[in-house]
Structure formats: structure tokens, C-alpha cells
Amino acid sequence: MTKILFASSEAVPFIKTGGLADVAGSLPKYFDRKNYDVRVILPKYICMDAQWKAQLQFLCHFYVNLGWRKQYAGIFQAKADGITYYFVDNEFYFAGDKPYNHIHEDVEKFAYFSKAVLEALPFLDFCPDIIHCHDWQTGLIPVYLRTLYGGERYYAGIRTVYSIHNLKFQGRFTLPAVADITGLPQQIFTADKLESYGEANYLKGGVVYADAITTVSRTYAMEITTPEGGEGLDGLMRARSDVLFGIPNGLDYEEYDPETDVFLENHFNQTNFVSQKAANKESLQRELSLPTEPDVFFLGMVSRLYDQKGFDLVTYIMEELLSTEKIQIVVLGTGDEKYESSFRYFAEKYPDKLHADIGYSDDLAHRIYGSCDAFLMPSLFEPCGLSQLMSLRYGTVPIVRETGGLKDTVEPYNEYENTGTGFSFANYNAHEMLATLRYAMKVYRTDRRAWNALALRGMQQDFSWESSAREYEALYMMITNRPSGCR
Ligand code: GLC
């Protein structure tokens, strides 16, 4: 039995701010349970839903030395879908109203979490063969393991995999502060290890010290080795490219299933989706006080409202789009003030065409996927992206920019050969996006049969976790069978 511990700062159903939570909360279910015991360790945030907090059971406690500090750590446990989750409790660090607050708090918070994960292992009676770390918040785990814990027998056989879900967020802070907080030896704050552009960089630490590095799509794995996509670390990514792998994310096909989705009024499958989705469209239009027009092009967007997601393109052409086209748009998400107020403005100006819900609602999100004709995702960059996979699964045609995982998962429509699963454009340009939207609208209006065939091809794609879980298993095998990349 190979033992794997996922160390993550979020995981569904317990706590979620983004796609990382979906991955950390669904991938563990898809390993071959006869050969893999996969467990997850998370911080025990005070802001976790009361429903989940009530299920946690206290296991043990100990103290963590962090630089000159000595901090309490409690360990709690819960089960979800047959997977064991551990939670590190410390109300000094995890008391905020959201998981991440200010970077100066977060660097200490996640140095603490990383060290507490390693200290917890002997108490859990679960010595993993591999710790699979996710994003900058756990970048120090491989660093601690190979430095402060390097000489300890208990830890000697543990390997690490480090997964990058978004290279933009690196966890950077001043060198003296990080040296003080972490208690790591001075000799590792150098340009070949933790130092980067005059600061200490947690993600860099993870990439330098891990036995293998993964990211969440093949195209993004290539993009991060280039100056355009490398966020300043492309040289490092090239240097580690022998152990850098792109393994695409899957979607939790149990949670996102249009045949059983509890949030949908009318369930559907590949045979009856046209009529059932039309019924969903009508009820969502009614729910959102939009005119109930069956033939209007109904476009959804569910996203964090940040630059990464391409919202500068969207707001740039919004007036032109809404003033000239027969369209209805539903936007759901929160984020940058400038985008939130821009959508509020347009929703007020065009109440029959734009509904903006500045918030987050899982059930509205599911209803958007289950009711819209198309889904817009014009990201500037996209490590993998999950929303386009949800759209495909629900017969909602994705319109995307050709970057990262979007490029790998959406095949552009070819009207001559009747192939493809969506629409895409290459350059980060608002009018190129608008032209693509207009092309999609033209197909929708003038050739509904081709449109429905396009939606059906999308529904027939398989982006479940099955094949990606097998790829992770192969990677785990590879690194457990060879000596650690110990420095
Ligand atoms: C981040 C990325 C997104 C990816 C997700 C899960 O949120 O921005 O593209 O799908 O992580 O890996």
C-alpha cells in the first residue's frame, strides 16, 4: 500500500476559495484504493462552515518550534466520501474571516502550517511515502523536509510532489522576515534555493526541493518554461524540466452530473438535453427577472472577477455587445472592485440583457451551467480551468481564449468538417473576442442543428479524473522507486 498525504490550504467540501479546493477535494477519491491510501491535511480555519466544523474530531496536540516561537498545534480528523482529512488547529493563525488575509500574515501562517504537517506525522500513525504539496502555501514542506528534518530517520524515506495550480501566486516576502519566521538556515536563502529577486519565495522553495513537480495542464507546463508565462521563474522551470509534468485536472463527474444535479429543475443527458435545457433556460430567465425568450443567445460567466480571467476584455466590449446584439448574459462572481462595479453599472443600464450576481452561490452556478447556451472564459492565462469542463459536461458551449488548459480541452468549431466542441480565439484582444462571440451567435441563430451537434460533442468528451489519477499513480511509482532528489 502506497501512502500519500495531500497537503493543501483548501479542499471541498470543507473550505474553498478557488479551483485548488476542487482538485484537493476530488482527486483523492479517484486513486486505486486497493493500492493507495490517500489522505488530506488542511488548516482548521475558523471561517469553515459550521456544518463541517461540527464533524471534526479531536485527535491529539503537540507544539511546533517556529524560529524562536513555540506554537500549539491541535489535530482534528473527519471523513468525507471515504477519505480521511486531518486539520491543523491553531486559532492564532487560522482565525481570519477568510483563509488568506494579508501576505505578511500569510507567510507566517503557512510556514507554521508546513512545519506542523511534518511534526504531525508521528502522532497520526501515518508515515506517508509521498507528501503531495499544492501551491505556494505548502512550498516550505519539501524545504523543511530536506533541511531541518534531513537527518532524521523517520523522515528520510518521504518523497515530495509539488503541484503548481497557479504560478502567479508565489508567496514572496522579505528575506530577514522569512529567515526569522521559519528558522531555516541562512545558507538556503541563496539564488539557487529560496531567494528570488531579492525576496524569499515559498513556491520557488517547493520547486527547488521537491522530487517531482506537476502543473495542471500540458500546455501550461510548457508555457511556464517561457519568459511570457514563467512569472519570473521560467529559468528555474527550464532547469527542472526533467521532473516537470503537466497532468490535466479532471472534473468530479459525480458532483457535476446533469442527470442527478440537485440544483437543476430539469435533468438531462445526451439524448434529451435540447428540450430539457430549454426548460431550464426559461426557468432561470424567470428566476433572474430576464425576459423569457427561448431563442435569445444565453451566455453565462461564473468566475472570480480578476484580470487573470480576462475581464478587462469583457468590460471593454460590454457596451458594444449589449447595445447591438440580441443577447442575455448572466455573470456570477466576486473579485476586483472595478469589475464588480462595471457589471453593476451595465446590469442597471441593460436590465433585460445582463444579470450580474456579485457573490458566490453554488446552486446558481450549477443552474448557469445547466441552462445557458454558451459560456465565456477569455482568460489571460489559465493553468487548467474547471469551468469550461463543467460547461462541456452540461452541453453549454465554451468560448475561450487559447491558453493553458483552455487550449487543451476546447477544440475549436470547424463548420466545414463539423468538428470541435467550442469556440476559441488566440490573441488577448477584446475585438478578437467580440468577433468570436459574434461568430458563435451566428451559428446559434442560423444553424441550430450544427449548434446542438457542437454541444453534444462537448458532452461526449471525457474529462473525468480517471486517466489523470492513473498519471499521478505512475508519477508516484516513479519517484518512490528511485533515490530522493535530496541536496
Ligand atoms: C487555479 C487555476 C485554475 C486551475 C485550478 C485548479 O485556480 O487558476 O486554472 O484549474 O487552480 O488546478
pLDDT at 487 over 50: no
Q: Which of 12, 17, 20 to mutate to test the pocket of ligand 1 (most atoms within 8 A of CB)?
A: 20
The response to whether residue 44 sits with its C-beta less than 6 Å from ligand 1 reads no
pLDDT at 73 over 60: yes
pLDDT at 347 over 60: yes
pLDDT per residue as tens digits for the range 368-404: 999 999 999 999 999 999 999 999 999 999 999 999 9
Closest CA to 380 of 342, 301, 433, 423: 433
Verify cis geometry, omega within 30 degrees of 0, for the bond prior to 291: no
In DSSP notation, 72-135 reads EEEEEEEEETTEEEEEEE-TTTS-SSSS---HHHHHHHHHHHHHHHHHHHHHHT---SEEEEES
Q: What is the mean pLDDT of residues 356-364?
A: 93
- The three-state secondary structure class of 226 is coil
Question: 77, 85 in Cβ contact below 8 A?
Answer: yes
The response to whether residue 206 sits with its C-beta less than 6 Å from ligand 1 reads no
- Kindly state the percentage of the chain with pLDDT values over 90: 95
Q: How far is the CA of 116 from the centre of ligand 1 (A)?
A: 25
Q: How far is the CA of 404 from the centre of ligand 1 (A)?
A: 10
Q: How far is the CA of 340 from the centre of ligand 1 (A)?
A: 21
Question: 398, 463 in Cβ contact below 8 A?
Answer: no
pLDDT at 484 over 60: no
The response to whether residue 165 sits with its C-beta less than 6 Å from ligand 1 reads yes
The response to whether residue 246 sits with its C-beta less than 6 Å from ligand 1 reads no
Residue 104's pLDDT band (boundaries 50, 70, 90)? confident
Q: What letter does residue 189 receive in the DSSP assignment? A: S
Q: Which of 9, 162, 165, 223 to mutate to test the pocket of ligand 1 (most atoms within 8 A of CB)?
A: 165
The response to whether residue 20 sits with its C-beta less than 6 Å from ligand 1 reads yes
The pLDDT, as a whole number, for residue 481 is 83
pLDDT at 410 over 90: yes
Ligand 1 atom 10 nearest Cα: 385
- Kindly state the percentage of the chain with pLDDT values over 70: 99
Residue that wins the pLDDT comparison between 271 and 68: 271
The span from the first CA to the last CA of the chain, in angstroms, equals 27
The response to whether residue 386 sits with its C-beta less than 6 Å from ligand 1 reads yes
Q: How far is the CA of 249 from the centre of ligand 1 (A)?
A: 9
Nearest-angstrom CA–CA distance, 11 and 216: 16
The pLDDT, as a whole number, for residue 360 is 86
Cell 508555457 belongs to residue:
223
pLDDT at 255 over 60: yes
Question: 407, 365 in Cβ contact below 8 A?
Answer: no
Ligand 1 atom closest to the CA of 22, numbered from 1: 6
The response to whether residue 407 sits with its C-beta less than 6 Å from ligand 1 reads no
pLDDT per residue as tens digits for the range 121-154: 999 989 999 999 999 999 999 999 999 998 899 9
Q: Which of 166, 213, 382, 403 to mutate to test the pocket of ligand 1 (most atoms within 8 A of CB)?
A: 166
Ligand 1 atom closest to the CA of 18, numbered from 1: 7
Q: How far is the CA of 388 from the centre of ligand 1 (A)?
A: 12
Q: How far is the CA of 173 from the centre of ligand 1 (A)?
A: 23
Closest CA to 23 of 472, 462, 400, 371: 472
Residue 485's pLDDT band (boundaries 50, 70, 90)? very low
pLDDT per residue as tens digits for the range 298-333: 999 999 999 999 999 999 999 999 999 999 999 999
Q: Which of 216, 224, 308, 406 to mutate to test the pocket of ligand 1 (most atoms within 8 A of CB)?
A: 216
Average pLDDT of the chain to the nearest whole number = 96
pLDDT per residue as tens digits for the range 195-228: 999 999 999 999 999 999 999 999 999 999 999 9
The pLDDT, as a whole number, for residue 483 is 62
Ranges 95-99, 218-222, 257-261: which has the least confidence: 95-99
